Amino acid sequence: LKDMILACPSILGYNKQNLKSKVGFFTNLMGYSQDETRTLLLKEPNLWRASVKTGLIPHMRFLIRDMQIPRNVLAHKIVAVNPRILLYSLDQNIIPKLIFYGIMTS
């Protein structure tokens, strides 16, 4: 807990429901265990600042539905290695890069 607070002091101002919704996103929707969620949030404390509704869920939907990445691969091979991917702007960062890579590999 101390490490999380030191890395992201703003979590002290969040209400309990806000924190629970973020943990619930990782455990219920992404399929992480409590320990895996803790490790992920320690690795990238800025995930505490992300909105579940307007940030985390749209990223997950895009990567799973549009990019057709299986949920377990997304969780354990992509997000676990680079959790910051959930913080990048879809419109300004991820999608333009994917278009560029698609053009380059065509």
pLDDT (tens digit per residue) in 28-75: 999 999 999 999 999 999 999 999 999 999 999 999 999 999 999 999
* CATH code matching the domain that covers 2-105, chosen among 3.40.50.970, 1.25.70.10, 3.90.700.10, 1.20.1250.20: 1.25.70.10
Return the structure tokens found at 70: 């299986």
The alpha carbons of the chain give a radius of gyration, in whole angstroms, of 14
pTM reported for the whole predicted model: 0.86
Cα separation, 24 vs 18, in Å, equals 10
pLDDT at residue 5, as a whole number: 84
| pLDDT band of 106, cuts 50, 70, 90 | confident
* Domain extents in the chain: 2-105
Q: In sequence order, which residues have a C-beta less than 8 Å from that of residue 22 and are 6 or more positions away?
A: 41, 47, 48, 50, 52, 56
Cα separation, 52 vs 104, in Å, equals 33
Query: What's the pLDDT tens digit per position in 34-46?
Result: 999 999 999 999 9
How many C-beta atoms lie closer than 10 Å to residue 39's C-beta? 13
